[in-house]
Amino acid sequence: MAELVRAERKGAVMTITIERHERRNALNERVAEGIVAALGAAEQDVACRAVVLTGAGDRAFCAGGDLQPAADGTPFTIDVADPRHYVVRLLKRMDSCRLPLIARVNGAALAGGLGLLCACDVAVAQENAVFGVTEVKVGLFPMMILPYLLRSIPYKRMMELCLTGEPISAAEACAEGIVNYVVSPAELDARTDWLVSRIVDKSPTGIRLGKQALSKIREMSTDGALEYAQFMLANMARTQDVAEGFAAFNAKRPPNWTGR
């Protein structure tokens, strides 16, 4: 059986690629489980500092759930005996990932594919990519990705996308903060590498604890968030990476991060 997700580490970066080019890299259970497994492997690899998520080919990053007849693993059914849907497991696993997640958007990011993009921390897109939530066109609504859309897109704009099902361009997605950078297809790898290089030379401890804190603060009241933030800041100040960061700053030298 062909692998639907390929994971490869080069240097400090693990690249996870959805390998369903013929189905526009559509999601099914095997794809979701492959991404989850690859994220786990990346976190266990002490040399890995960041994860890039992308799709095979140049047509689609991920076109969402597979709508083809007799699709393998449609995301639109729930097992009533075990309602833990694989898309929910995937999104929650992306949420809890301790490494920075960078989306390399090599084509269309639609429906659940836009959800995957919004679950990443930062994103680079090629200029001919399109973005949208098309579920309303088949009588559905983008239920499971709504929390991630709300994080990334202003409410009224998000509702326009959900209610009309109409796509937007990469330039519009960038102007609205859905992606960080838009480049030509020829520049996609170079700009992704450039962005990743600015991340992997920073403290892995600081990033890991920062992501952990953000996932909690996002769900808190302002008072609760401030109380939690000062607790986390005091804990971070006791890490070896912070001691090294201050020492390197005062010695005017590059820091030697240990991740501790």
CA 165, 169, 175, 181 torsion: positive or negative? positive
Q: Where are the beta strands (DSSP E) in 117-216?
A: 122-126, 130-132, 168-169, 181-183
Name which of 56, 64, 46, 47 is nearest 110 in CA terms.
64
Question: pTM for this structure?
Answer: 0.92
Q: Of 3, 22, 127, 135, which one is the catalytic site residue?
A: 135
Say yes or no to pLDDT of 211 above 60. yes
- Mean of the pLDDT values across residues 107-133? 97
Q: How confident is the model at residue 122 (pLDDT cuts 50, 70, 90)?
A: very high
pLDDT of residue 81: 57
Which tens digit of pLDDT belongs to each residue from 128-157? 999 999 999 989 999 999 999 999 999 999
Among residues 197, 124, 114, which one has the least CA distance to residue 150?
A: 114
Rounded to the nearest integer, the mean pLDDT of the chain is 93
All residues at 6 or more sequence positions from 43 whose CB lies less than 8 Å from its CB, including other chains: 97, 98, 99
- Ranking 73-87, 163-177, 207-221 by mean pLDDT, the lowest is 73-87
State the virtual CA torsion across 16, 22, 27, 33 in degrees, nearest 10.
-50
Name the pLDDT band for 176 (thresholds 50, 70, 90): very high
Query: Is 176 among the catalytic positions?
Result: no
Whether residue 233 is predicted with pLDDT greater than 80 in this model: the reply is yes
Helix, strand, or coil (residue 154): coil
Could you tell me the pLDDT band of residue 2, with boundaries at 50, 70 and 90?
confident
